[in-house]
Structure 1
Amino acid sequence: MRWCAAAVLMIALVGCSGGGEVPVPAPDTPAALPAPGTQVLSSDKAQALQNAINQIVEFPDSPSGARGATAAVVTDHWTWSGAVGTDSQGRPLRADTSMAVASITKTFIAAEVMLLAGKGKLNLELPLSRYVPHRLTANDATVRQFLSMTAAVPDYQPSGFARLDEASAAAPEKHWTLAQSLDFVGGHLGEPGQAYVYSNPGYVLLGMLIEKLTGLPLAAALRRDLATPAGLRHAAFQDGEKPQPPVAVDSDKACGPPDGYLPCRAFASLSAAPGGLAADAPTIARWGYQLYGGRVIPADLVDQMTTSEGEYGLGTMLFTQQFGLGEAFGHRGDMPDHTSLLIVVPAKRVAIALLLTNGGRSIDPRMADLTNALAPLLG
């Protein structure tokens, strides 16, 4: 991750302490972005962004369409958010409607692990088994390999997902621990460090690592160390926290009637570490700006998260130039009723979140529509 700090940021950091030399970062030291802007984008400029998301509901059954969408943009000067369409129950969406953002949760898990490493609480190069003994850590893959999904831990297989659905349907109100969610993992461990293999169970194990080292439930640790410092007021780490209204109601058949969680408490707790976060688009955009802007964990740690020879760093997807604004970082998320995408372009000092009220959608083209409309506004 590479960007230049504004002179005004350095002045703000030094303040009026009086005299002395202004400290200058080492040439290779990443610097944090300025604080996110607070001014709301003027309505005449905002219309182009609203038009971009309005297209999503024109053909809701198309691969990249949806019944509803919310979006938000955060820059160093201004913010914007918008909504269109409805949730699965036909209720109109608001820009602050919470949805399940699924694997965007992994950015929080990775950031917390990196923060703990930066504080000397763990060593990224040691096997995770040193901290979390488990059959799925028995191949001695390192903490860093778990973060980068090169630990050779199998993902849930279709049969495992089916059993997860059955467990949710049998007791939608049940709370499952992180360790219990791993009972649904089949397959065999491979040789770590060989290849990237997407693994939700790997992030469950990292969630267990966080609980062990902090002595807190996962939701409490993420709230204390990340959400509160980042100023996130409308994020819920399920099922330790319940989504704040308004909430886009799910229609997941495995969950029965809505219970305030997304899609229900059982499913939310089973996916807590790899995908349990519920939030609105402005919150996700702000989180992306604060995280990848080096404002919530040290920028040198963020640099490690966003450095990779492939398309996945540490809890971070690397989007290179595919959205037209420059080198971008973030994550996709997919739940049965919601599809989400967060991208951050540090060089442009901008973070963008897009949430759809249908699962399994091709969201990248819709994000490209939004970034095309956004580009002229960034200067």
Structure 2
Amino acid sequence: MVKAPKAEQFIGVDDLGRLQVRQEELLFALKAANAPTTIFAIGMDGLAPRGAAVGMADQTAYQPLTTDTPLRIASNTKMFVAATALRLWEQGRLELDVGISALADESLVRLLDERGYRTKSITVRQLLNHSAGLNDHADEEYIKGVLAEPARVWTREEQVCLAIRASGPLGPPGEAFRYSDTGYILLGDIIERATGGTLASAVRKELRFDNLALTSTWWEVAEPQPAMTEPRARQFFGGVEITNVNPTMDLYGGGGLAMSVRDLAAFTSALFQGRVFEKPQTLVEMLCQGTHQGAEGYRLGVALSVVGRAVCYSHAGFWGTVVYYSPQAELAVAGFTTERNARPALVSLVETLIARCNSADKIG
């Protein structure tokens, strides 16, 4: 494994004055993460986008990190998978409140049923809001195993088996919030069966990637990296490089997408400003709070928190990505760092920007 290089002081900045922060202050905050870091913000209707970046995407190639540099976004992918499921729901092609036993692959259903999971009672909605009572295969031991065998090719079935071998149901379906990557692997399978194609093609088509000009976005393995995009940044976990870890370790719905911070902010802006779904009610459905324990902090593929005394929707990705949307400020802010350990500092910076925007009268 390769040790992470120290970030160089490359700086690329647009005017961020309307984000209520001076450029010098922003750059100081980005550098304080002590890792290559980039943010991008988009206001209402995609107007006046602004971004900043510090450090190198690949120091050995002297490739600077920019707002167009793609990275693996890991669990940020869940927001896309959830939005795809809701697009199918608004078209009448997928029910949210029926048991997954009739929707998922028979072999996966059999595995779950044999371990005591009640697939006739577990619904798509419960998978989306993590209330299905499913164990999570992507635990600390799994990460250790992935890093020990970086070239290993994983299958969806193997990952589901890992989850159910470790534990039977963590509770009745619909009882409580319990985060589970395994649930989103099942969602990926359900979406493929509902559309008759790959998860990658369904997400791209239903979420209108081409219309939204997401030119630095692709699903690894299933799609080629788009032409003319920058090389993917090198990413690190505790100083250990994970750039070339086989993407199948997080490919089937819990993760899978690679994209730039600009594209993540652009999609999030489009999603919350009504340019992804056909019907306004679909976004309402996505953001509707469940009745289970812990439902206040997570909806269908998106987290909810209060930042600067205002409600914000967000999601993070394990390797060092995050995106927030503030309805009050009508603003999407995405951030990437190439070092997983720098993600807390990145989240703090993004939340500071959001709080300042929410305290302003109007964001242009």
The TM-score, its normalising length taken from structure 2, stands at: 0.79
Corresponding residue for residue 311 of structure 1: 297
Corresponding residue for residue 37 of structure 1: none
Corresponding residue for residue 193 of structure 2: 212
Report the 3-state secondary structure (helix = DSSP H, G, I; strand = E; otherwise coil) of the residue aligned with 2:307. Answer: coil
Q: Is residue 278 from structure 1 mapped to residue 278 from structure 2 by the alignment?
A: no
* Cα deviation digits, residues 243-297 of structure 1 (max 9, x gap): 44232113569998xxxxx733623454341122211111111110111222101
Checking the alignment, whether the CA contact within 8 Å between 2:237 and 2:339 is kept in structure 1 is: no
Report the 3-state secondary structure (helix = DSSP H, G, I; strand = E; otherwise coil) of the residue aligned with 2:325. Answer: strand
Corresponding residue for residue 48 of structure 1: 21
Is the alpha carbon distance of 1:196 and 1:251 closer, same or farther for their aligned partners in structure 2, counting shifts above 3 Å? closer
* Structure 2, unpaired ranges of 5+: 1-12, 290-294
Is the alpha carbon distance of 1:231 and 1:177 closer, same or farther for their aligned partners in structure 2, counting shifts above 3 Å? farther
The TM-score, its normalising length taken from structure 1, stands at: 0.76
Checking the alignment, whether the CA contact within 8 Å between 1:255 and 1:264 is kept in structure 2 is: no
Corresponding residue for residue 33 of structure 1: none
Residue 352 of structure 2 aligns to which amino acid in structure 1? Answer: D
* Structure 1, unpaired ranges of 5+: 1-39, 60-64, 257-261
CA RMSD in angstroms, aligned pairs only: 2.8
Report the 3-state secondary structure (helix = DSSP H, G, I; strand = E; otherwise coil) of the residue aligned with 2:193. Answer: helix
What is the rounded CA distance, in whole Å, between the counterparts of 2:220 and 2:307 in structure 1?
Answer: 32
What is the rounded CA distance, in whole Å, between the counterparts of 2:85 and 2:218 in structure 1?
Answer: 19
Q: Is residue 82 from structure 1 mapped to residue 67 from structure 2 by the alignment?
A: no
Checking the alignment, whether the CA contact within 8 Å between 1:103 and 1:274 is kept in structure 2 is: yes
Q: Is residue 181 from structure 1 mapped to residue 163 from structure 2 by the alignment?
A: no
Give the % identical residues: 26
Cα distance, 1:191 vs. partner? 1.3
Corresponding residue for residue 120 of structure 1: 92
Residue 258 of structure 2 aligns to which amino acid in structure 1? Answer: A
Residue 346 of structure 1 aligns to which amino acid in structure 2? Answer: P
Checking the alignment, whether the CA contact within 8 Å between 2:147 and 2:245 is kept in structure 1 is: no
Q: Is residue 71 from structure 1 mapped to residue 53 from structure 2 by the alignment?
A: no
Checking the alignment, whether the CA contact within 8 Å between 1:87 and 1:357 is kept in structure 2 is: yes
Corresponding residue for residue 370 of structure 1: 353
* Cα deviation digits, residues 190-225 of structure 1 (max 9, x gap): 311111000001000000111111111111111111
Report the 3-state secondary structure (helix = DSSP H, G, I; strand = E; otherwise coil) of the residue aligned with 1:116. Answer: helix
Checking the alignment, whether the CA contact within 8 Å between 2:17 and 2:23 is kept in structure 1 is: no
Is the alpha carbon distance of 1:123 and 1:282 closer, same or farther for their aligned partners in structure 2, counting shifts above 3 Å? same
Is the alpha carbon distance of 1:271 and 1:53 closer, same or farther for their aligned partners in structure 2, counting shifts above 3 Å? farther
Corresponding residue for residue 264 of structure 1: 244
Residue 75 of structure 1 aligns to which amino acid in structure 2? Answer: G
Q: Which moved more, 1:292-301 or 1:142-151?
A: 292-301
Report matched runs for 1:294-333 at 5 Å. Answer: 294-297=274-277, 298-308=279-289, 309-319=295-305, 321-323=306-308, 326-333=310-317
What is the rounded CA distance, in whole Å, between the counterparts of 1:113 and 1:322 in structure 2?
Answer: 28
Is the alpha carbon distance of 1:211 and 1:112 closer, same or farther for their aligned partners in structure 2, counting shifts above 3 Å? same
Cα distance, 1:299 vs. partner? 2.2
What is the rounded CA distance, in whole Å, between the counterparts of 2:56 and 2:356 in structure 1?
Answer: 23
Cα distance, 1:350 vs. partner? 1.2
